[in-house]
């Protein structure tokens, strides 16, 4: 056995983005344009990823359309046999670029929607964007790409979940991914503005379940629950270093897009090492592989094969030790830090700290 | 409905069948997902191209494997239809 074989690579081609969403999954410390990998670096990474067993490639960001070599990278990925998804805000997806991407062999495009209410959507994105997204969606559909709408859910939009799902259907989506906000980086910084109430979460779960039935055969709906309201943690990408890897704009390789916030860890990068070496041999990828690193209560817990102790990044962010049980788990002795966060929605909603690449977060 | 003998199953337009030299087996790729296949599964899916009925697929594969594969085919197609990876043509 050659060990674990990854299936998915998320390529964060750039951290530059026209949107300023306060829950962005990029780290607080955003990579600047001058540090980004060159075209040939990315091509080498894609080739090495396929050789390692990767099947799915996410061309993501920031806004990946800000990379002028996106079409070239998409064509290279297709030649290597990867199935690529462009993860975009839709801004900058002109007909010319979409046609070039189609020619390059790109198959699937994901466009983010912030809300069904255009005013709230633009308040969340921090920029005029709704019309651009509608135009982009029409182009994606017309050119025959597989089309997914993705939506991050939180306190300000969760009550319109039904309308949001209907909007995705009107835009012609094949799929909609509804993911409650995960509280890392920007999301954690804005947690008290984003955290929904328990009532919101319960209502939205019912709305999602009904919509899944109603849209069956027309539009696939995936609904990711907010883990803070769950009794057990999520199985983060099937476990650390098992199926998934992320390459950041400057070439750092991570087991999870939030991993740089584990400030006690060092991550290797693709300009110094092969992807295969990083995946198999690097200290970072080996740190939490398997279960020998686990402490109690995980070590003796039958659920360790189901959720792998939850998320290492969340354990670090909330408890200060990445080897602790994810405190979302009700078996964690530190679950109180999550329960305390669940009292946040009962207080007045603070303003968002918007994502910004230039120094300090921008206040509304 | 897809597995009725006269229905014409078709692979989802966004799914792609290919051979993976790393895992040494056929795979079905589609948005945000992949299914590792065995040779029989791949043989069935290759015939889901919108030009064969389920009955014709069974005939072709019965002939190829010199065995009655009808229940295997129906079961497999139901599973793939449930996952919306094949659609009625």
pLDDT in tens, B49-89: 999 999 999 999 999 999 999 999 999 999 999 888 998 75
pTM (2 d.p.) = 0.94
Residue ranges of alpha helices (H) inside A14-129 are 39-52, 70-80, 95-104, 118-125
Mean confidence (pLDDT) of chain B: 91
Residue of A nearest to B88 (CA): A217
* Subunit contact B16:A7, Cβ cutoff 8 A: no
Say what the pLDDT of residue A359 is.
52
CA dihedral A250→A251→A256→A258, nearest 10 degrees, is -20
Which of A83, A150, A173 would best serve as a mutation to test chain B binding (most B beta carbons within 10 A)?
Answer: A83
Please enumerate residues of B whose Cβ is less than 8 A from a Cβ of A. 13-14, 16, 18, 20, 22-23, 27, 29-34, 84
Nearest CB to B29 within list A51, A83, A144: A83
* Cβ pair A330, A318 in contact under 8 A: no
Phi first, then psi, for residue A36 (nearest 5°) are: -65, 150
Alpha carbon of A10: minimum distance to chain B alpha carbons (Å): 11
Compute the distance between CA of residue A310 and CA of residue A235 in angstroms, rounded to an integer.
5
In tens digits, chain A (364 residues) has pLDDT values of 458 999 999 999 999 999 999 999 999 989 999 999 999 999 999 999 999 999 999 999 999 999 999 999 999 999 999 999 999 999 999 999 999 999 999 999 999 999 999 999 999 999 999 999 999 999 999 999 999 999 999 999 999 999 999 999 999 999 999 999 999 999 999 999 999 999 999 999 999 999 999 999 899 999 988 999 999 999 888 899 999 999 999 999 999 989 999 999 999 999 999 999 999 999 999 999 999 999 999 999 999 999 999 999 999 999 999 999 999 999 999 999 999 999 988 888 899 999 987 655 555 4
* Residue-level pLDDT at A364: 46
In terms of CA atoms, which chain A residue is nearest residue B23?
A53
Which tokens sit at B25? Answer: 């087996």
What CA–CA distance (Å, rounded) separates A30 from A249? 9
CA distance A304 to chain B (A): 24
Q: Which H or E element spans position A88?
A: strand A83-88
Choose the closest CB to B22 out of A5, A56, A146: A5
Q: How many Cβ pairs closer than 8 A exist between chain A and B? A: 46
The reported pLDDT for the residue numbered A31 is: 93
In contact, A151 and A176? CB cutoff 8 Å: yes
Q: Return the SS3 of A244.
A: strand
Q: How many CA atoms lie within 13 A of A329 on its CB side?
A: 25
Instruction: Give the nearest chain A residue to B87 (CA atoms).
Output: A217
Residues of B in contact with A280 (CB under 8 A): none
Q: Is A83–B22 a contact, with Cβ atoms under 8 angstroms apart?
A: no
Which residues fall within 8 angstroms of residue B74, CB to CB, at 6 or more apart? B3, B54, B58
pLDDT at A109: 98
Question: Contact B32/A55, CB-based, under 8 Å?
Answer: no
| DSSP tag of B66 | T
Q: Are A20 and A48 in contact (CB under 8 A)?
A: no
Name the E strands within chain B: 9-11, 16-20, 25-30, 33-36, 86-88
Average of per-residue pLDDT across B13-23: 94
- Chain A: nearest CA to B42, how far in angstroms? 17
Question: Are the C-beta atoms of residues A76 and A49 closer than 8 Å to each other?
Answer: no
From chain A, pick out residues whose CB is under 8 angstroms from the CB of B32.
56, 85, 108, 148, 175, 177
Which tokens hold the place of A213?
């039935």
pLDDT of residue A347: 85
Radius of gyration of chain B (CA): 12
């Amino acid at each position: 056995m050659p060990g674990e074989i990854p299936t998915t690579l998320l390529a964060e081609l750039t951290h530059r983005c026209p949107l300023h969403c306060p829950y962005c999954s990029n780290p607080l410390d955003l990579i600047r344009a001058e540090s980004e990998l060159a075209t040939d670096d990315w091509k080498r990474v894609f080739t090495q990823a396929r050789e390692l067993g990767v099947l799915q490639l996410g061309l993501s960001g920031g806004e990946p359309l800000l990379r002028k070599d996106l079409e070239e990278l998409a064509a290279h990925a297709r030649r290597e046999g990867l199935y690529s998804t462009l993860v975009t805000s839709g801004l900058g997806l002109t007909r010319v670029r979409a046609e070039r991407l189609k020619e390059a062999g790109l198959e699937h495009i994901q466009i983010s929607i912030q809300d069904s209410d255009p005013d709230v959507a633009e308040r969340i994105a921090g920029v005029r964007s709704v019309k651009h997204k509608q135009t982009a969606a029409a182009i994606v559909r017309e050119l025959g790409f597989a089309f997914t709408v993705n939506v991050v859910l939180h306190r300000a939009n969760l009550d319109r979940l039904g309308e949001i799902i209907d909007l995705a259907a009107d835009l012609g989506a094949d799929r909609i991914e509804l993911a409650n906000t995960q509280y890392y980086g920007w999301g954690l910084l804005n947690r008290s503005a984003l955290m929904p109430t328990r009532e919101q979460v319960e209502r939205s779960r019912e709305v999602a379940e009904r919509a899944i039935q109603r849209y069956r055969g027309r539009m696939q709906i995936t609904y990711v629950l907010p883990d803070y309201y769950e009794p057990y943690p999520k199985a983060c990408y099937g476990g650390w270093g098992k199926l998934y890897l992320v390459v950041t704009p400057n070439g750092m390789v991570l087991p999870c897009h939030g991993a740089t916030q584990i400030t006690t860890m060092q991550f290797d990068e693709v300009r110094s090492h092969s992807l295969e070496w990083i995946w198999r041999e690097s200290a970072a990828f080996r740190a939490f592989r398997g279960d020998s690193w686990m402490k109690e209560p995980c070590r003796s817990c039958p659920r360790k094969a189901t959720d792998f102790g939850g998320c290492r990044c969340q354990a670090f962010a909330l408890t200060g030790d990445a080897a602790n049980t994810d405190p979302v788990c009700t078996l964690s002795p530190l679950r109180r830090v999550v329960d305390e966060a669940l009292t946040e929605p009962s207080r007045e909603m603070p303003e968002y700290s918007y994502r910004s690449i230039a120094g300090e977060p921008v206040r509304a | 409905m897809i597995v009725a003998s006269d229905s014409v199953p078709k692979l989802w337009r966004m799914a792609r069948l290919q051979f993976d030299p790393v895992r040494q087996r056929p795979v079905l790729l589609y948005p945000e997902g992949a299914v590792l296949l065995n040779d029989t599964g791949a043989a069935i899916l290759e015939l889901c191209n919108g030009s064969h009925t389920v009955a014709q697929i069974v005939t072709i594969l019965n002939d190829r494997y010199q065995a009655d594969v009808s229940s295997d085919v129906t079961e497999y197609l139901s599973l793939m239809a449930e996952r919306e990876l094949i659609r009625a043509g």
